[in-house]
Amino acid sequence: DTAVSQTPKYLVTQMGNDKSIKCEQNLGHDTMYWYKQDSKKFLKIMFSYNNKELIINETVPNRFSPKSPDKAHLNLHINSLELGDSAVYFCASSHRYNEQFFGPGTRLTVL
Amino acid sequence: DQQVKQNSPSLSVQEGRISILNCDYTNSMFDYFLWYKKYPAEGPTFLISISSIKDKNEDGRFTVFLNKSAKHLSLHIVPSQPGDSAVYFCAASDGNTPLVFGKGTRLSVIA
């Protein structure tokens, strides 16, 4: 059973499109995250979210928005995709701010 | 301002020898430290952690050392194996905010 899953694994799309990446965790965790791993391989946190608060990294453009239909899901919506959005996006979850479990990543390529 | 620094982007070690990966932090509120391992095309996976009340934690071939006065921690892998070749991320937490990750060190274990 996969603890943290993401779909799709690969996403290729044109500039200007709107896309979503889904994330689900079956660990019963209360906190979920989205990270971006850029071309330099740095892991940058984009959002952390639990049922009480959303913490947004101030450097994240407002074209990116997390949506959580329930505690087990945190989807990432991206509007008006740009070339610079090409990266690998990782979802993660944890109990409070303890050890995080990561998904396998979604490689987004914007053409 | 980087709160968690891994100053060596890469490290090469002969199989069977010891690998030492280093990490420095600046935030004195951090009280929990973790190491993650990441293979290409996969999400980071938790490897080992240490609480600030300890100065050493060992798990098989992996040992993490914490020097609070120097705000420094290190991961020792002995003996190193080719399967240990991966990117290693150091992370730190104060318990109230999401983990802060370093930029990673790529370890290559040469057979």
Better-scored residue on pLDDT, A1 or B89: B89
**Structure tokens, A109:** 């390529």
Interface test with B, best of A42, A100, A108 (most B CBs within 10 A): A100
Q: What is the pLDDT of residues B99-109, one digit of tens each?
A: 999 999 999 99
- In this structure, what are the phi and psi dihedrals at residue B49, rounded to the nearest 5 degrees? -135, 170
Question: B40 CB near a chain A CB, below 8 Å?
Answer: no
Q: What is the pLDDT of residues B77-96, one digit of tens each?
A: 999 999 999 999 999 999 88
Q: What gap in Å lies between CA A72 and CA A32, rounded to an integer?
A: 8
Partnered with residue B75 across adjacent β-strands are: B21, B64
Q: In angstroms, what is the C-alpha Rg of chain B?
A: 13
Given this model, what pLDDT does residue A1 score?
64
User: How much is the mean pLDDT over chain B?
Assistant: 95
Instruction: Give, as one character, the DSSP assignment of residue A15.
Output: T
Q: Is A82 helix (H, G, I), strand (E, B) or coil?
A: coil
Interface test with A, best of B99, B103, B106 (most A CBs within 10 A): B99
Question: Are residues A98 and B93, on separate chains, in Cβ contact within 8 Å?
Answer: yes
- By C-alpha distance, the chain B residue nearest A33 is B98
Q: Which of residues 11-40 of A touch B (CB under 8 A)?
A: 31, 33, 40
- Give DSSP secondary structure letters for B70-82: TTEEEEEESS--G
Query: What are the angstrom distances between the C-alpha of B49 and each of A34, B33, B35, B55?
Result: 22, 6, 6, 11
Q: What is the pLDDT of residues A44-96, one digit of tens each?
A: 899 999 876 888 787 899 999 999 888 899 999 999 999 999 999 999 999 98
Question: Are residues B43 and A104, on separate chains, in Cβ contact within 8 Å?
Answer: yes
Question: Are residues A97 and B89, on separate chains, in Cβ contact within 8 Å?
Answer: no
Question: B83 CB near a chain A CB, below 8 Å?
Answer: no
Q: In angstroms, what is the C-alpha Rg of chain A?
A: 13
Question: A66 CB near a chain B CB, below 8 Å?
Answer: no
Given this model, what pLDDT does residue A50 score?
85
Query: What are the angstrom distances between the C-alpha of A89 and each of A107, B5, B48, B51?
Result: 6, 22, 23, 29
